[in-house]
Amino acid sequence: MILPPSESAIAQAIAALQQGQLLGLPTETVYGLAADACQDQAVQQIFLRKGRPAQHPLIVHVADAAAAEYFAAAVPDFARALMAAFWPGPLTLILPRRPGVAERAAGGHATIGLRCPAHPVARQVLQQGLQADPPIRGLAAPSANRFGRVSPTQAEHVIEELAGSGQGDLLVLDGGACEIGIESTIVDCSRGQPVLLRPGHVQAQDIARVTGLPVGRSGAARDAQDDGAPQAPGTLSAHYAPNATVRLMDASAIQTALGILGAQGKHIAVYARTPMHSPSRDIVLRRMPATPQATAQELFQVLRSFDVQGVKLIWIETVPDEPAWDGVRDRIERAAASASG
């Protein structure tokens, strides 16, 4: 059930969360599948509905930096600086978890991912939740899609992903299309210096500027095997996958392949900044925006549209090797890895 975010709908959403139900929640990055982070049974329903492995932690969304103190056992000074600079906004911080708090949401790990979203609907739910009786101190809210699939950036995408799962109705607050379109940047703040786990809208140079510290980088595969590194959401090497197979190619390779296929080409979509031409009417050509911000905003919606059109293969032009494109590059590389895996 999709509802506009009226006062009555917000009140209905908070009541549902208090009762251990799930909520489709808009944020500026993607839509989340939310539950009260302190209700382990409710959080367990997120894992079941998404088909998400139990050990993969969830990001907990909080109303502000003060609310984060309930979940974090310690907040180093550089993490506080990041909160002051980028919250509310698309930045998740990995911090030591307070014992006995949100254990299920954290996947049983000693750390927890915290974020203060900027979307006005998410903020309204979080702020009013804090004032409720009993209070909702934070919302565990991974992307509202089946595990490993393309994240939803519109309310309708949530229903497409999760309807018919046989796990009951789902209330979704419609906050419009997500402004940013890809998931938050994740920074590990539990190792004494900031370590970038997942790129996003907030870039490494922004983090270094605010903290005055060098920013480490940590590969997902190494993190998964390193007992000293916290598990973090959205850092699997294969993720964000449409139904179609994704291949990354440079512009000349794409145009050459289109020429070889000629008029016989079909069931293929092309997403490229460079203008492409094909004699086949059955090949879907979609122009990628020139800027990383515009590309990020539409990326997941474009991948979904290709699935709707029934394509079997998606050729994506490789993006520039520039820091501003890191978030987009990360998502398309993971989508391609899902196909190859």
Q: Is 329 marked within a binding site?
A: no
Q: Is 222 marked within a binding site?
A: no
> How confident is the model at residue 148, as a pLDDT?
82
| Count of structural domains within the chain | 2
Q: Which residues of 237-268 are buried (b: 16+ CB within 10 A; e: fewer)?
A: ebbbbbbbbbbbbeeeebbebbeebeeebeeb
Q: Is 165 marked within a binding site?
A: no
Q: Is 141 marked within a binding site?
A: yes
> How confident is the model at residue 280, as a pLDDT?
93
> How confident is the model at residue 23, as a pLDDT?
97
Q: 184 lies in which domain range?
A: 2-217
Q: Is 185 marked within a binding site?
A: no
Same domain? For 173 and 269 the reply is no
Residue given tokens 């139904």 in the structure block: 243
The enclosing H or E element of 126 equals helix 120-131
The first and second tokens of residue 157, run together, are: 């995408």
Is residue 183 one of the residues assigned to a domain?
A: yes
CATH number at residue 121: 3.90.870.10
> How confident is the model at residue 169, as a pLDDT?
79
Same domain? For 282 and 213 the reply is no
> How confident is the model at residue 218, as a pLDDT?
74
Is residue 222 one of the residues assigned to a domain?
A: no
Residue 149 and residue 307 in contact, taking contact as beta carbons nearer than 8 Å: no
Q: Is 198 marked within a binding site?
A: yes
Same domain? For 184 and 271 the reply is no
Rounded Cα–Cα distance for residues 275 and 66 (Å): 49
Q: Is 8 marked within a binding site?
A: no
Q: Please say which residue of 201, 217, 233 terminates a domain.
A: 217
> How confident is the model at residue 128, as a pLDDT?
97
> How confident is the model at residue 235, as a pLDDT?
61
pLDDT < 50 regions, the chain: 220-230, 340-341
> How confident is the model at residue 231, as a pLDDT?
63
Q: Is 340 marked within a binding site?
A: no
Q: Is 92 marked within a binding site?
A: no
Is residue 7 one of the residues assigned to a domain?
A: yes
Q: Is 98 marked within a binding site?
A: no
Mean pLDDT, rounded, of the chain? 91
